Amino acid sequence: MADPDDPAAPAARFRRLQAGLAQALAAAGPGSTTPHVVVALPSHSMPTRLLDHNASHLPALEHRALLDGLRLAHTPGAHVVVVVSEAPAPEVLDHYAWLARPDDPDAARRRMTCLVVPDGSARGIAAKLLSRPDLLARLRAQLAGRPAVVEPWNVTEDEAAVALALDTPVNGGPPDLWHLGFKSASRRLFRRGGVPVPPGVEDVRDTADVAAAVVDLHRASPSADRFVVKLDNSGAGEGNWMFSTSTAGGRRLSQEALAERISTEAPGWFLRDLRAGGVVEQWVAGTGSLPSPSAQVELLPDGEVVVRATHEQVLGGPDGQVFTGSRFPADPAYSADLAGHATAVARLLADRGAVGWASVDFVVARHGRRHAPFAVDLNLRKGGTSHSLAALQHLVPGTYDAAGGRWVADADGGPRHYRSSDAVPVNPGTDAAAALSAVDASGSTFDHARGTGAVLHMLAALGPHGTVGVTAIGRTAAEAETLYDDVAATLAATGGP
């Protein structure tokens, strides 16, 4: 076994490389005139089942990172390189250049480039790039000795290897902490941080473990009937399976009968992947619907934790567990609690050497006027809300007030809200140029003077899926919601008879 402290070992080399992260981030900060490069690496290094399931969607998911190019709006020294597996349409890059610099889009266009790794396989873009040393060499040449930083979606061994090949620090990692975002490990971390979690049992690996866990949980909560099993290494609600512990007539199943139900009703792939570990959680009950908010934090190289945002997640799918969009910010009735809980967890992560982005997902039980948040997931990466937040940060620079639960714009001191989705339906056959033109003709495109309007993303999904992403920014929640609905209606009519 290799010694990780051997100066030649990848882990030791990565630690030395990361010693320059603070300096690289300072060179790339808002307003910086220092010539530098930001390498956006939207590498979705996920379990094979998730990559296979999302294979046709990977190019569009990668294109969410194009919104990072909007940093050119306020950072004159930046050059942004986005690594993708499919080239975006020229009109998409032209549109983002205009969004970043309406006064001089040509200048912005020259400072934003894409490195295309033409590979349609179900792998993260970092793995694809590592298999193309010629493209790695081209990317190294683009850095041209300038300060640089890699902005990843997540950091596993693949992303760390890309950083080492580029000799450039990465705003994330180290990869040996990746497992802390797994469900069993994150529940333990939540408890250590004093963050409430739903009643549950970690480290279950088969149907017998799940049934035994439910029996244990029933001792403390005899009336509980709904439970969810979550695979340790999963995300975005994929890898969650819900079940009831009673018959249709309301009779409680025995432990043996429950194990049999799980064996026959859970998908075969789910039971196979459960062997690697998972958790059982009691479904949180409350009055009315259960909000599912999240809190996003950034862990800086000096150990400081900054709360960047809170969101209300919009969930869908067969069991209402799959992320489909968000509203920013989260409800002020509990957003400060979310920020406090996420900060407590992030400090534990920082103590372990974690840096970069992380988020905590919650469910909130309502009991009359009381709100009780429970942490249900930890993501040591960017997530489904990161790209929409990037659009707000770059187009309406400001600060998230964690205590007040609101965005305060630098330009006017006023708040901003947004409604976002990655999957707004568009008429079949609509291309990127038509979608952008339709939104522009409707008067909904982002208005720089007012600091409100709609930004489209994931335009690569138009062809294969007939959908596009929308982030609608308003001065009030109602304005953002109305704008989102108007854009969705415009897109639904685009290309129609």
Nearest to 92 by CA among 57, 115, 55, 64: 64
pLDDT at 133 over 90: yes
Nearest to 463 by CA among 6, 92, 112, 110: 92
Helix (H) or strand (E) holding 339: helix 335-351
| Ramachandran angles phi, psi of 321, nearest 5° | -115, -5
Q: pLDDT-derived band of residue 200, with 50, 70 and 90 as boundaries? A: very high
pLDDT at 44 over 90: no
Predicted TM-score (pTM) of this structure: 0.92
Q: What is the CA radius of gyration of the chain?
A: 23
Q: Residue 333 CB: number of other CB atoms within 10 A?
A: 14
Q: Where are the domains of the chain?
A: 10-171, 199-282, 414-497
The pair of three-digit structure tokens given for residue 292, joined into one six-digit string? 């599912």
Which of these ranges, 37-46, 98-107, 161-170, 385-394, has the smallest mean pLDDT?
37-46
Q: CA 474 from chain center: how many Å?
A: 22
- CATH T-level fold of 414-497: TATA-Binding Protein (3.30.310)
Overall average pLDDT of the 172-200 stretch: 95
pLDDT at 11 over 90: no
Decide: residue 19, CB within 10 A, 0-12 exposed, 13-18 middle, 19+ buried. Answer: exposed
Q: Residue 83 CB: number of other CB atoms within 10 A?
A: 24
Q: CA 471 from chain center: how many Å?
A: 15
Amino acid occupying residue 102: P
**Measured torsion, CA atoms of residues 93, 99, 103, 104, in degrees rounded to the nearest 10:** -20
User: How far is 33 from 269, CA to CA, in rounded Å?
Assistant: 51
- CATH T-level fold of 10-171: Rossmann fold (3.40.50)
Nearest to 124 by CA among 84, 80, 173: 84
pLDDT score at 68: 94
User: How far is 320 from 97, CA to CA, in rounded Å?
Assistant: 37
Q: pLDDT-derived band of residue 1, with 50, 70 and 90 as boundaries? A: very low
Decide: residue 11, CB within 10 A, 0-12 exposed, 13-18 middle, 19+ buried. Answer: middle
pLDDT score at 319: 59
What mean pLDDT, rounded, does the chain reach? Answer: 92
Q: What CA–CA distances, in Å, run from 251 to 225, 244, 248, 263?
A: 10, 11, 7, 19
Q: In the beta sheet, which residues pair with residue 227?
A: 243, 282
Helix (H) or strand (E) holding 306: strand 305-316
Q: pLDDT-derived band of residue 49, with 50, 70 and 90 as boundaries? A: confident
pLDDT at 497 over 50: no
pLDDT score at 421: 96
Which of these ranges, 7-11, 84-88, 180-184, 411-415, has the smallest mean pLDDT?
7-11
Q: Write down the residue that tokens 């409100």 correspond to.
A: 452
pLDDT at 415 over 80: yes
Overall average pLDDT of the 17-42 stretch: 96
Which residues, other chains included, contact 441 with Cβ-Cβ below 8 Å and sequence gap of 6+? none
Overall average pLDDT of the 451-469 stretch: 95
Q: Which CATH number is associated with domain 199-282?
A: 3.30.1490
Nearest to 325 by CA among 414, 412, 237: 237
